[in-house]
Amino acid sequence: MELSSVAIEGVGLCGDSTRVGDRAFRSLVQLTLDILLKKKSDDCLANDEDIISVDNASLKQGYAGLVSLILEAVKMDSDLSTISSMLEDCKWATDRIEYFFKCFQDCKPEMEALLSRFDLFAVLLLKLTPEIRCLDSLPLRDYRKRSCGKLSYLFCIYIYIRTGSSFPHIVDVDWRLDYYIKNNQMEKVNKPMYLITLKTEESGKPQGKDVQFSCSMEQLQDLVGKLKDACKSIERAAVN
């Protein structure tokens, strides 16, 4: 794990009990994680009564150091011993390291989800109670429909702050079955016709575009056949 010298200095400041007192340290760690997870905005740093004791310059550099440390640790999936040796180099006391680890590990799955594109399922499965866990086989849309409180909050993050590059992600499908009877050129067409809309979501956009097309029975059979092939090959890959 590598941090810039400015960031290391900042992390060092957080460990320095003359600049950042114990209570301020605890609040700072908790608030930094909350801000990174978009649960709070960064104004809360200025308003916290414990943090008020820290001078502004140290707070700014310390906060920046902590942010770099957390993001880098999540990004590289660093193990605790690596982080620990780094924090010891920055002269953190053992109780501060332990407190940091406790908060960090609670938030890590959510952080990973934020940094990845769409593996929120994994996070939910790790974190949620068994009643909600039974939803794990549901597609994203149904999750959102049935979710409440923290869950829906997580999905807000998922949809609006999804990072990384990706193609429009299919999350649902609408279909409609028509019986095509005639048109201005021709009588007695009499064929079933499907109108299919694929609902998508895209990173950085509140609303994905819909992909709409029509198909005849034979074409739908072809499409479903191909999708089934894809499902099968994924099942095989999962078994291996």
Partner 1 sequence: MLLILSEEQKEHLRFLISLEIDVILEFARISLDFILKGSSNLKILQAAAQKLGVDINIVKNGISGLQHVFTESSRLMIGEIDFQDSVMTLGFSKEVISALLQLYLENRKEVRNILLEMTLAIPHYHELEWRFDVELASRSLRHQTNPVIIMKLHTKEGEKNTADILQTDPVNLIHLTTELENAMQEMKTAYCRRIVRNIK
Q: Where along the sequence are the contacts to partner 1 (CB under 8 A)?
A: 74-77, 112, 115-119, 121, 137-140, 163-173, 175, 177, 179, 181, 183-190, 192, 194, 196, 198, 200, 211-215, 217, 219-224, 226-231, 233-234, 237-238
Q: Which is nearer to partner 1, 118 or 153 (CB)?
A: 118
Report, in Å, the least distance between residue 20 CB and partner 1. Answer: 28
3-state SS, the chain, equals CCCCHHHHHHHHHHHCCCCCCHHHHHHHHHHHHHHHCCCCCCHHHHHCCCHHHCCHHHHHHHHHHHHHHHHHHHHHCCCHHHHHHHHHHCCCCHHHHHHHHHHHHHHHHHHHHHHCCCCHHHHHHHHCCHHHHHHHHCCHHHHHHHCCCHHHHHHHHHHHCCCCCCCCEEEEEEEEEEEECCCCCCCCCCEEEEEEEEEEECCCCCCCCCEEEEEEHHHHHHHHHHHHHHHHHHHHHHHC
Q: Which is nearer to partner 1, 18 or 239 (CB)?
A: 239
Q: Which is nearer to partner 1, 26 or 108 (CB)?
A: 108
Report, in Å, the least distance between residue 237 CB and partner 1. Answer: 7
Report, in Å, the least distance between residue 128 CB and partner 1. Answer: 16
Report, in Å, the least distance between residue 106 CB and partner 1. Answer: 18
Q: Which is nearer to partner 1, 20 or 120 (CB)?
A: 120
